[in-house]
Structure 1
Amino acid sequence: MGAPATTDSLTVRDERTGKTYSIPIVNNSISATAFKAIKAPKKSGEREENETERGLRVSDKGFLNTAVITSEITYIDGEAGVLRYRGYPIEQLATQSNFLETAYLLIYGALPSSSQFASFEYEVTRHSILHVDTESLFRAFRYDAHPMAMMTSAFAALGSYYSEANPSLQGQTLYTKGDPQSIANMDKQIFRLIGKATTLAAMAYRVRQGRPFVQPPTGMGYTESFLYQMDHLTEENYKPSPVLAKALDILFLLHADHELNASCTTVLQTGSSLVDPYSAIATGCASLYGPLHGGANEAVIRMLISIGSPENVPAFVEAVKRREKVLSGFGHRVYKTSDPRSFIVRQIADEVFKVTGKDELLETAMLLHKIAMNDEYFIKRKLAPNVDFWSGLIYRAMGFPLDFFPVLFAVPRVVGWLAHWRQMMLQSGGVKIWRPRQIYVGSGKRDYVPINSRESVAGFKKEPSSIAHTGQSKRAQLAEHRCKL
């Protein structure tokens, strides 16, 4: 007899009932909803909130192994250290392409012809100018406002200027119809968002310094225009350093997309409600704001500053092993070997340092890199340098303030967010709102108790914290007054 025939399916036997289920395997994945068919009678005394009779739920805290969408955009092999945009290795794109060409690739699926690229570049740069009222928005922020807070607010505010971009006003099929008019409207918003991203970032930078805003120049590349808007004062024929513009262009390319990271997932979660793209991008910006995501390269510099000189590195490494210190810039949620982008960024660093001079933290960083790469503790835990380790040093050498680092991440990532948003809007079968399940472990049904009959539930995390009042707040508490009716 020959070997039994194999099928692309998973056979599951539920020992509670003795029933067997066959679940199809498609693209090496199984449908989580298939487990809803695996039902069992509720046991005696079992919590009704388990919903056992309604089928199994799949628990996956933090989306460690849950696929929520079918995508053709970015592929990552974390075990092999591979990153590809639309099939193209990141190494080839970083050395042969540029940011806007790669943006076209990510959004539309193919590298553009000369005429296609010229048209795309023209539209993006032409849509970089903001409504003059936007200046009032930025001037309303505190002098010390974090630039990412300004960026998040500004992206959301942009949506209020374009009523034709809002499905709440134009109908919920505005972006999902897939006809030429709908796609043209979608692409116009894409041009606007990519074009205005650098303008918003430059305004967030200059408002902190009390400088007047600069209109986007004509005849300059994407990152060159960005640097111009940030730094130009009253000089004639001002032209940013081509070395810095090129380095920033490659860094933007490397940060343009990274599959379903936290911020991209946030954009899609928000976008699934069919909100306008400006609001969706604002939520991505808010997600990127977090220190576990867009603030990682800033954390690297703060770590290196805390270490100080190279002679302090060995003691710091030992403190990391004892879990007394946090190591930033090493390891990655996806990559279990070296981050392929880190090698490219290291090469960029050398080019930048040639014109800016070596950063005073470079020797400390290089020694930390050397020790970590040869220490069994880090090797065993697969803690190799990631893209944030070197990019922070480059941004610092280029003169960007630490709290502006996440902005330099957000501007290029707008492209990736838009690519995934556009793909979701045009996917077969339309858009369904994302609604994850939960596993409820709280109290069962209980009856309301009047306030005079309740027992106090007190303790840490079980009641509001006591807040210390000072200054005017404290004086107001001590004052006597009568409320006006």
Structure 2
Amino acid sequence: MSSAREEAIRTTSTRDVTDWWSTAVSDIEPGVIRLRGYPVQDLIGTTGFAAMIWLMVRGELPSEAQAALLEKALVAAVDHGPQAPSIAAARMAATCGVGLHGAMSTGVGLLGDVHGGAGQQCMEVLAEIREMSEQDGIESAVTRKLAQFRAQRRHVPGFGHRFHPRDPRRDPLLRAVAEQVTAGTVEGCHLAIAVELERQLAAGRAKPVPMNIDGVTAVVYVELGFSPELGRGLFILSRSVGILAHAWEETMSGRRIKGPIPPPLLPTYVGADERPVRRP
């Protein structure tokens, strides 16, 4: 061993080692578990799961009203059926015998920018419009932002749905946010921006373009002060419940190696006709 290496080891203190994974989240020692400073035995029975999520990621316990609003959003997004790619992938993985953990990780792994990312993207849009509105007001800021989307030929994340003319999760969640605006729990500016986006998107159309689950949960999360990236994480936590349920159901069915479409059907082939191999 080189002398420099020996000297480095010699001068490394115990504190250097224990600080390697320093954390403000949890404090663990024999017989003691503290989470953000709270003894776990005091949290058990007094703190709901939504409040626990808040505590762990934000460092403080929420008010009852904040926890209740967060829970409504988490409940709303748990599942959207086997046609959702994350659910379908988890179910297929379960039939391949990878175990429940493998099936769940397969499903969660599909929750990226395209499938599962619209909530975070909508939170970012709401935050951008909020900043723009400080100078021009909400209506003008929304008009400007929509003009940018149209110029770039991009859809507005969090609005419209392939299956639902009006997402059944929209109204109860927006109503819950509005109630907490009245109660003074949240400010309501981002709610007003989302409603104005919805209004302007519908202008001149035969059919409206209402908020979908990504849009309404984005409103909840940004009103509660979560960063957009945490909004993505919260959606994953929520949808993991549905992934777990579907993976378990498929595991219990006993079916093996279930493909994307039922046999004897096969995917449409659009390649070259059969042709001979050219030999040298």
TM-score w.r.t. the length of structure 2 is 0.71
The aligned amino acid for 1:268 is: R
The aligned amino acid for 1:244 is: Q
Check whether the contact 1:359–1:393 (CA below 8 A) recurs between aligned residues.
Answer: no
Q: Distance in 2 between matches of 1:222 and 1:435?
A: 35
Check whether the contact 1:359–1:397 (CA below 8 A) recurs between aligned residues.
Answer: yes
Check whether the contact 2:70–2:220 (CA below 8 A) recurs between aligned residues.
Answer: no
- Secondary structure (helix, strand or coil) at the match of 2:169 reads helix
Find 2:67's aligned residue among 237, 245, 249. 245
Find 1:211's aligned residue among 24, 29, 32. 24
Give yes or no for the alignment of 1:275 onto 2:88.
no
Q: Residue 176 of structure 2 aligns with which residue? A: 348
Mapping for residues 75-114 of structure 1, pairs under 5 Å: none
Deviation at 1:445, TM superposition (A): 4.3
Check whether the contact 2:186–2:224 (CA below 8 A) recurs between aligned residues.
Answer: no
Query: Once the two structures are aligned, what percentage of the paired residues are identical?
Result: 24
For the pair shown, which has the larger CA radius of gyration, 1 or 2? 1
Evaluate the alpha carbon distance shift between residue 422 and residue 344 of structure 1 in structure 2; reply closer, same or farther with a 3 A threshold: same
Aligned length: 231
Q: Distance in 2 between matches of 1:298 and 1:413?
A: 14
Give yes or no for the alignment of 1:396 onto 2:211.
no
State the Cα RMSD in Å: 2.7
Q: Residue 15 of structure 2 aligns with which residue? A: none
Q: Distance in 1 between matches of 2:186 and 2:169?
A: 23
Find 2:89's aligned residue among 266, 269, 272. 266
- Secondary structure (helix, strand or coil) at the match of 2:110 reads helix
Give yes or no for the alignment of 1:339 onto 2:170.
no
Q: Structure 2: any 5+ residue segments left out of the alignment?
A: 1-19, 27-33, 261-265
Deviation at 1:321, TM superposition (A): 5.0
Higher percent of residues as helix:
2
Q: Structure 1: any 5+ residue segments left out of the alignment?
A: 1-138, 141-206, 234-238, 450-485
Deviation at 1:304, TM superposition (A): 2.9
Find 1:432's aligned residue among 239, 256, 269. 256
The aligned amino acid for 2:212 is: N
Check whether the contact 1:345–1:391 (CA below 8 A) recurs between aligned residues.
Answer: yes
Deviation at 1:351, TM superposition (A): 3.6
Deviation at 1:358, TM superposition (A): 1.6
Evaluate the alpha carbon distance shift between residue 359 and residue 291 of structure 1 in structure 2; reply closer, same or farther with a 3 A threshold: farther
Q: Distance in 2 between matches of 1:312 and 1:212?
A: 39
Check whether the contact 1:352–1:394 (CA below 8 A) recurs between aligned residues.
Answer: no
Evaluate the alpha carbon distance shift between residue 316 and residue 424 of structure 1 in structure 2; reply closer, same or farther with a 3 A threshold: same
Q: Distance in 2 between matches of 1:218 and 1:448?
A: 72
Q: Distance in 2 between matches of 1:352 and 1:372?
A: 25
Find 2:210's aligned residue among 377, 381, 384. 384
The aligned amino acid for 1:446 is: V
Which gives a bigger RCO, structure 1 or 2 (Cα 8 Å, sep 6+)? 2
Evaluate the alpha carbon distance shift between residue 317 and residue 423 of structure 1 in structure 2; reply closer, same or farther with a 3 A threshold: same
| Per-residue CA distance 1:264-317 (angstroms, 9 max, x = gap) | 1111111110111111111111112x2222211111122234443221322444
Check whether the contact 2:198–2:209 (CA below 8 A) recurs between aligned residues.
Answer: no
Q: Distance in 2 between matches of 1:448 and 1:226?
A: 64
Find 1:230's aligned residue among 46, 54, 57. 57
Evaluate the alpha carbon distance shift between residue 315 and residue 231 of structure 1 in structure 2; reply closer, same or farther with a 3 A threshold: closer
Q: Distance in 2 between matches of 1:317 and 1:365?
A: 12
The aligned amino acid for 1:225 is: M
Q: Distance in 2 between matches of 1:320 and 1:396?
A: 21
- Secondary structure (helix, strand or coil) at the match of 1:340 reads coil
Q: Which moved more, 1:274-283 or 1:296-305?
A: 296-305
Q: Distance in 1 between matches of 2:168 and 2:279?
A: 57
Deviation at 1:263, TM superposition (A): 0.9
